[in-house]
Chain A
Amino acid sequence: GAGVSQSPRYKVAKRGQDVALRCDPISGHVSLFWYQQALGQGPEFLTYFQNEAQLDKSGLPSDRFFAERPEGSVSTLKIQRTQQEDSAVYLCASSPSGGSKYFGPGTRLTVL
């Protein structure tokens, strides 16, 4: 398909486990964003890439969160030693220029 895809769509982790969430942006999109969305709230910015460079990671809530985009296309958001408060939907978006964003369906993470 032509849209942003994310995998897995659902992830259940035991507290303390590490998880990796994948985002496949729209081909050719330079900018890639990760957001976290808690139940009933709007998405909150986590981090931003322009090509392979991570230009803004001010929204990452702790050093347990790490994102990479090594070849400027696919990105992975890794959460180490998951905690219950990490339970949320993680949204990825891409953009050709950083303006209008195209969002994926999200990965729903549940930490037990």
Chain B
Amino acid sequence: DAKTTQPPSMDCAEGRAANLPCNHSTISGNEYVYWYRQIHSQGPQYIIHGLKNNETNEMASLIITEDRKSSTLILPHATLRDTAVYYCIVREYTGGFKTIFGAGTRLFVKA
């Protein structure tokens, strides 16, 4: 598995953009970057994924560096409900697409 490194916690003001970094320097060419988040007492929720191009959906944007060794998840206008643990994952394929979670980044959105 390619391992990921994320800061343990971050703060963001409500209404501002939240930029969550992730390092995955050992990613291989066919591995995708996935982001999930987990709000307190809920199961993880899929946010977005990408291979090498930047991606955007209704929840967030994903910026992947050209060398693919790092990425940034952007929540363009953070709200209090975005307070959660955010997991950056490099998807391993072992015939089952086993997803390995790390410790994630705990994002606190403050009013």
Q: Which residues of A contact B (CB under 8 A)?
A: 4, 31, 33, 35, 41-45, 48, 50, 55-56, 91, 93, 95, 97-106
Q: Is the CB of A42 within 8 A of B103?
A: yes
Considering only CB atoms, which chain B residue lies closest to A49 in the complex? B96
A45 in complex: contacting residue of B41, B42, B49, B100, CB < 8 Å:
B100
Known: A33-B99, A100-B34. A56 touches B94 (CB 8 A): yes
Q: Is the CB of B98 within 8 A of A91?
A: no
Q: Is the CB of A55 within 8 A of B101?
A: no
Q: Which residues of B contact A (CB under 8 A)?
A: 32, 34, 36, 41-46, 49, 85, 87, 91, 94-104
Closest 6 CB pairs of A and B: A103-B43, A98-B97, A42-B101, A48-B96, A56-B96, A100-B46
Considering only CB atoms, which chain B residue lies closest to A9 in the complex? B41
Q: Is the CB of B46 within 8 A of A50?
A: no
Question: Separation in Å of the A39 CB from the closest CB of chain B?
Answer: 12
